[in-house]
Chain A
Amino acid sequence: AQSVSQHNHHVILSEAASLELGCNYSYGGTVNLFWYVQYPGQHLQLLLKYFSGDPLVKGIKGFEAEFIKSKFSFNLRKPSVQWSDTAEYFCAVFSGTYKYIFGTGTRLKVLA
């Protein structure tokens, strides 16, 4: 069965620290990959997406993610986090069977 694993459930960083959130998926075929963010009290919003082409994709607010096919990974990165990045982050996979599979999420807290 398809699945998405996010290894870090809670992350606490100070402002200006670098961020990397792990995401691994299990599916052997072509996938589309997404990172969504949920700020406190708000709905899920798209951060970035990968469909094909350059495996390094850039999203909003300075986030980027790298698709490494051989590792089935799609890790999210940001060089310098801000207090306003405090949120929950979800990795998701779309495998073409109508379903999006989400990871369990990583709750990020950035200390001012």
Chain B
Amino acid sequence: DTGVSQDPRHKITKRGQNVTFRCDPISEHNRLYWYRQTLGQGPEFLTYFQNEAQLEKSRLLSDRFSAERPKGSFSTLEIQRTEQGDSAMYLCASSPVEGNQPQHFGDGTRLSIL
């Protein structure tokens, strides 16, 4: 079990720049989730994929945010025209499709907007 891998671990960028994060889930997991976590809060759901299909998006995911999972394996989360409020930890999690199995989380990507 290689676990869920996220890249990069840290990203520092200037306001207005675009950023892209990558998540590699556990290989046999069909479900993939993106969350955002800010200080003092629990993870907040952003979006969910089952294989390559994006089945749900949170209202937190403004039109500056886009996520893809083109081949049903790795996923990317892109934020365009970053704002100060985008500073957070972005978490990826995956789980098997069978039943309501618990999620396995990656270490996250910490985004800091200057």
Contact = CB atoms under 8 A, between A and B. Distances in A.
A72 interface: no
Contacts of A63: none
Interface in A44-80: 44-46, 49, 51
Contacts of B99: 51
Contact of A90 (B42, B45, B108): B42
Interface residues of A, number: 26
Interface in B72-114: 91, 93, 99-100, 102-108
Contacts of B108: 43
Report the interface size class on chain B: 20 to 34
A25 interface: no
Interface of B: 3-4, 33, 35, 40-45, 48, 55-56, 58, 91, 93, 99-100, 102-108
Nearest to A90: B42
A92 B102 CA distance: 10
